[in-house]
Chains A and B, each alone.
Chain A
Amino acid sequence: MEMLMDSSQAEHSLLSSVTASERTLNPYVTGTSVVAIKYKDGILMAADMGGSYGYTLRYKSVERLKPVGKHSLLGASGEISDFQEILRYLDELILYDNMWDDGNSLGPKEVHSYLTRVMYNRRNKFNPLWNSLILGGVKNGQKYLGMVSMIGVNFEDNHVATGFGNHLARPILRDEWHDNLSFEDGVKLLEKCMRVLLYRDTTAVNKLQIAKITEEGVTISQPYSLKTFWGYSAFQNPTVGAEGSW
């Protein structure tokens, strides 16, 4: 409501000659894909730690996986400042929930629903939060993994990914995910996806964190890098058939 008034004020004002825009039109500092799967004890989520400013790798230690309340884990790709704003909203939400002090706490399904409403309402006002969010958690033995996009599209599945992960990681997950993966197998599967993303996504960096959430709580690993292989013979000597060509 205040936005509409602002734009009309700007038009009527004699002092300002340019209609100031207070809507998000482009993202500036962005994070790339997040990949998450359900496994035997809960949810595993992986994201790298890069914050890109267009094509420049500006920030190399951005934590894009954050715990929310007691039962949920949030991973985000897209505009980092909007992600920080969402964390503030969620902080407030969890605080108000705790103040009731009634022994109940918001589970992942409720937080997912809240985020969907927030994202959809912002999109309807043409001022979106430029993020794709992955929300995972376990409450009372029930595992939950869902995704919300910046226009408010939300769904729940056994494996989700944002951004480039949709094109590169989901085919692998559709092929190789199965129910009741062990922790080691789950981590191996996520690392396989993150390695393909590292090879083929220009905005990916080789410094990632893997987070797990189970009934006991959230554990986010220390940052580490993946091993890559570049020793193919075609890379060493691409012009073996015709010396001097390119």
Chain B
Amino acid sequence: MSNSAIDVPPKGGFSFDLCRRNDMLSKKGVQPPSYRKTGTTIVGLVFQDGVILGADTRATEGPIVCDKNCEKIHYMAPNIYCCGAGTAADTEAVTDMVSSQLQLHRYHTGRESRVVTALTLLKKHLFNYQGHVSAALVLGGVDVTGPHLHTIYPHGSTDTLSFATMGSGSLAAMAMFESKYKEGLTRDEGIKLVVEAICSGIFNDLGSGSNVDVCVITKGHKEYLRNHLLPNPRTYVNPKGFSFTKKTEVLLTKITPLKEKVEVIEGGDAMEE
């Protein structure tokens, strides 16, 4: 029974040390920093040869746009991509984690990943955290069983659909889809409809904006069209560029090219198993 003041490292689990201080601060009116949300429009649709995913590129922190050109279409497998809406950290982390799990599964089975595998891994994780992992995802891909498109909600429920939208701009995008979608679209028609739906989100929803990203997945082939459309260019660009104020003088210019530290040996030994 020692009353020593030795600091034992925490064994893990949640540390409640700061809770009283946070409570006191919030009573005094000091708000905690808000999450970086993606406040988004993400869409997916099934066309005759596969799946097309689309997303806008604005990331918001409350009322501020913190990233004008972020990437919301995440890689899961060579034949599966996933768009994410909600808290940016959650969508990144959960898609990265499931992507690694799929890679390990591919090594284990020696086969191409299936979309339902990614779906089950994601929904298990999200349900486990009872909605606290705020990630709303549109998962799409083409595997041996055909093209698939699913939506996954933060609490872990999923839907299998021919066309799907998520995020704050989902109603504006869904209005476009519901009025114009039909089965058996060609690749160009599908891309045009996805772009229309994302633009509808960009121009009618304040949480979405900037550019349109598109990803087309077909059997054995995928095309990631980053910034496929830029409907919000900077209108007035100063032709003179940036100029320093008169007080700043350039005294010395020295450019040091960075040398590569690692030498890549062609045809070296493979890693040991």
Contact = CB atoms under 8 A, between A and B. Distances in A.
A53 to B, nearest CB: 25
A238 interface: yes
B176 interface: yes
Interface residues on A, range: 20 to 34
Contacts of B159: 238
A223 interface: no
Contact of A174 (B116, B148, B178, B204): B204
20 contacts: A167-B175, A168-B174, A171-B171, A171-B172, A171-B175, A171-B204, A172-B175, A174-B204, A195-B178, A196-B175, A196-B178, A200-B175, A232-B162, A233-B162, A233-B183, A234-B46, A234-B161, A238-B160, A239-B160, A241-B114
B149 interface: yes
Interface in B193-215: 196, 200, 203-204
Interface in A149-202: 164, 167-172, 174-175, 192-193, 195-196, 199-200
Contact of B200 (A175, A193, A234): A175
Contacts of B200: 171, 175
B206 to A, nearest CB: 12
Contacts of B143: 241
A244 B196 CA distance: 35
B179 interface: yes
Interface string A219-243: 0000000000000111100111110
A26 interface: no
Interface residues on B, range: 20 to 34
Nearest to B178: A196
Contacts of B203: 171, 174
Contacts of B160: 234, 238-239, 241
List 10 A-B pairs, minimum CB-CB distance, nearest first. Answer: A238-B160, A167-B171, A171-B172, A242-B116, A234-B162, A232-B162, A171-B204, A196-B178, A171-B200, A241-B145
Contacts of A124: none
A200 B149 contact: no
Interface string B139-168: 000010110110000000011111000000
A140 interface: no
Contact of A169 (B146, B175, B196): B175
A175 B148 CA distance: 30
A16 interface: no
Interface of A: 164, 167-172, 174-175, 192-193, 195-196, 199-200, 232-235, 238-242, 245-246
A245 B178 CA distance: 26
Interface in B232-271: none
* Highest count of chain A CB atoms <10 Å: which of B148, B176, B179: B179
A220 to B, nearest CB: 25
Contacts of B183: 232-233
Contacts of A240: 145-146
A195 B174 CA distance: 12
A124 B162 CA distance: 48
B53 interface: no
Nearest to B157: A246
Contacts of B204: 170-171, 174
Contacts of B178: 195-196, 199-200
A168 to B, nearest CB: 5
Contacts of A164: 171
Given A174-B204, A196-B178, A241-B114, A168 B171 contact: yes
Nearest to B158: A246
B115 interface: yes
Given A164-B171, A200-B178, A241-B160, 12 more contacts: A167-B172, A167-B175, A168-B172, A171-B203, A192-B179, A196-B175, A233-B183, A234-B149, A234-B161, A239-B160, A241-B115, A241-B116
A163 B223 CA distance: 39
A192 B178 CA distance: 9
B77 to A, nearest CB: 14
Contacts of B145: 240-242
